[in-house]
Chain A
């Protein structure tokens, strides 16, 4: 391939004839500016003769890190206040006779009483929604989603990873930033978030969004879906936290600083 050959060659000296055209000069200047503005995006400084170089990867761009932590805080608040709201009517059946499904200890909840919990819930729903939209739009627009989106191609890799984690099976070689099981988990959280927000809209405004209520099988069933979305997050979060602990500081620090020292994968 001619492209690859070009890459291998050292950068050719700028063509003087092309330079004479102001458009080309501008393009070069713009490119230099870009490089200057984003040092992280700069090409790797691969000089084999200098020994003290560390392998590192800029894994998490700033918008991803910000939304990750805003989402984490929001989810904590939304789950804790949501459980307090659920305590007010801990059932999915009729009001009469009321069958208590779950008696959630008050200590696990936020808000103190139904009204307080609703205030927390109704404040952080906006924060979570805004952060979620920014996260998804950034993933799509930047193309960063390619590192984490679960696609049918990842299906065969899920079981070997699960076997490795849960049954101490052999570890599959790391192919990219995330393994297929991670992709499945992270992609699922986007689905849980979307489900939580859409069902939340229905519970908040069932009359104004009656068409959406209809899609979820009516107001009553929507409440079940909303709860299910929370269960999805509650299934994801402990596994996520255990993995973070197991993989150590460099991995955790990368969600703060973006940079990961000595990543476990190649390329």
Chain B
């Protein structure tokens, strides 16, 4: 709508309106690396909080038929360091610590004796690629029951033979599709994919699916700066899908 007003009045109104825009300049703080580093880290923490709130503990990830699964040789080997930390598969045991009634060393056979779940699910990498693979193992919740874990605790920490480490929220650990995985494509896990035992959770990004599991700890407190190998460098901790 066209208005007619005096030049002075137009300038006055323009100036007043221009000043009202000043709050947008607050975004300028992002131009300073010391401040922006903290702000964007806080942004990711906010996203993690929202992700936890959005997470539906009984909502299942899509599962696929055997024909939708990529051939085994097209399932990428992805490691942060070595693809074979030379785990002695004969002597391997899983150390269980923390808020559990029966801590100690657990053999693979004890884990394999628990009810088994085979699932064809999507593995999503933070880089953007995804593959549908075939996985077999026992739901983590079964194992937590076996060791008498306090499932009211907040976190599950894992340490790996290749010095990788991870932590996940208890709700995700108890998700019915979250596996202690010892098989892929109907075969025992090979060394590149994390033999003898890895995490496999279709509700989490790939970097949360720690391989070569060595220790599991149930805890209420995460050590600051030691929440996960990639998370400590800036990835989202929740890493949920």
Contacts and interface: CB of A to CB of B under 8 A. Distances in A.
A66 B131 contact: no
Interface stretch (B12-20, B88-96, B154-162, B189-197): B12-20
A104 B115 CA distance: 48
A53 B10 CA distance: 9
Contact of A66 (B21, B44, B59, B235): B21
Contact of A45 (B5, B44, B70, B128): B5
B24 to A, nearest CB: 5
A56 B128 contact: no
Nearest to B204: A207
Interface string A44-88: 111000101111111000100110011001000100000001101
A95 B62 CA distance: 20
Main secondary structure of the interface of B (DSSP, over half): mixed
B119 interface: no
Interface stretch (A9-17, A118-126, A150-158): A118-126
A258 B24 contact: no
A171 B175 CA distance: 63
A183 to B, nearest CB: 18
Interface size class on chain B is: 35 or more
Interface size class on chain A is: 35 or more
A165 interface: no
Given A46-B4, A62-B21, A122 B13 contact: no
A53 B44 contact: no
B32 interface: no
Contacts of A123: 39-40, 42-44, 46
Interface of B: 1-7, 10, 13-15, 17-18, 20-21, 23-24, 27, 30, 39-44, 46-47, 51, 54-56, 59, 61-62, 70, 73-76, 122, 124-131, 202-203, 230, 233-236, 240-241
Interface of A: 39-40, 44-46, 50, 52-58, 62, 65-66, 69-70, 73, 77, 85-86, 88-89, 91, 94-96, 98, 114-116, 118-120, 122-124, 126-127, 204-208, 210, 219-220, 223, 253, 256-259, 261, 263, 266-267
